[in-house]
């Protein structure tokens, strides 16, 4: 009986040590990085695309990236999901240093679809992924972000780096949260006459 207890104690100690080592690994390693896909995505900045892009950006981007202090998409501290860490949305104005001024259309498309930045940084759940957005609407969003609209006019405001929580690091390390694959086929326009389908598409 004593031998069984001793073996059980050793087993428990090994499990505790391994769990502690894994927790330390997760905490130190942080969120995994990935190789950003290279895609040939070109945007036509027509007035129609820009106008549609502003409507879409009002629904998809403004709530997180709009800063009341600057009146632009310079990012802000986000307190809506503290379980994921101390989160700061980023500057997505046309500033070349702290915004997206130097990004290509393809790099923006990959980020918006997959959540992976050009440098391989992965943005977990606090960055919505526009997986089902049609190619036309994606063009519109990017055309707007490239426009001279006051919301996206170049601004050198720099937000602090996000500090992900252990939960976020853990979920990304085990693959529960990971990038979406970039679509292999074009995504067609939605049927706007189908109110239910249109609502699901926008949501």
Predicted confidence (pLDDT) per residue in 71-102, tens digit: 999 999 999 889 999 999 999 999 999 999 99
Query: Quick check: 18 pLDDT over 90?
Result: no
Q: Phi first, then psi: what are they for 181, rounded to 5°?
A: -70, 145
Report CA dihedral (128, 131, 133, 136) to the nearest 10 degrees: 120
For residue 5, is it within any domain?
no
Band the pLDDT of 167: cuts 50, 70, 90: very high
For residue 26, is it within any domain?
no
Task: For residue 81, give the nearest of 127, 30, 113, 115 by alpha carbon.
Answer: 127
Query: Quick check: 124 pLDDT over 80?
Result: yes
For residue 67, is it within any domain?
yes
Band the pLDDT of 173: cuts 50, 70, 90: very high
Query: Quick check: 13 pLDDT over 80?
Result: no
For residue 156, is it within any domain?
yes
Task: Tell me the pTM.
Answer: 0.87
Average pLDDT over every residue of 7-24: 74
pLDDT at 30: 87
What is the spatial distance between Cα 164 and Cα 88, in angstroms, rounded to a whole number? 10
Look at the chain and report how many structural domains it folds into.
Answer: 1
For residue 141, is it within any domain?
yes
């Amino acid at each position: 009986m004593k031998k069984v207890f001793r073996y059980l104690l050793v087993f428990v100690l090994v499990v505790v040590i391994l769990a502690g080592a894994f927790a330390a690994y997760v905490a130190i390693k942080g969120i995994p990085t990935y190789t950003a896909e290279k895609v040939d995505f070109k945007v036509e900045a027509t007035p129609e695309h820009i106008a549609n892009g502003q409507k879409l950006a009002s629904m998809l981007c403004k709530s997180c990236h709009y800063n009341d202090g600057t009146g632009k998409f310079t990012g802000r501290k986000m307190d809506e999901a503290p379980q994921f860490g101390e989160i700061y949305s980023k500057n997505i104005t046309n500033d070349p240093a702290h915004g997206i001024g130097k990004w290509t259309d393809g790099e923006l498309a990959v980020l918006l679809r997959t959540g992976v930045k050009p440098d391989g940084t992965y943005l977990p759940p606090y960055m919505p992924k526009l997986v089902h957005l049609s190619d036309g609407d994606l063009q519109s969003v990017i055309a707007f972000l490239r426009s001279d609209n006051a919301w996206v006019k170049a601004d050198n405001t720099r937000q602090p780096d996000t500090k992900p929580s252990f939960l976020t690091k853990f979920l990304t390390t085990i693959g529960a949260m990971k990038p979406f694959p970039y679509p292999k086929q074009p995504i067609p326009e939605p049927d706007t006459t189908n109110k239910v389908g249109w609502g699901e598409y926008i949501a």
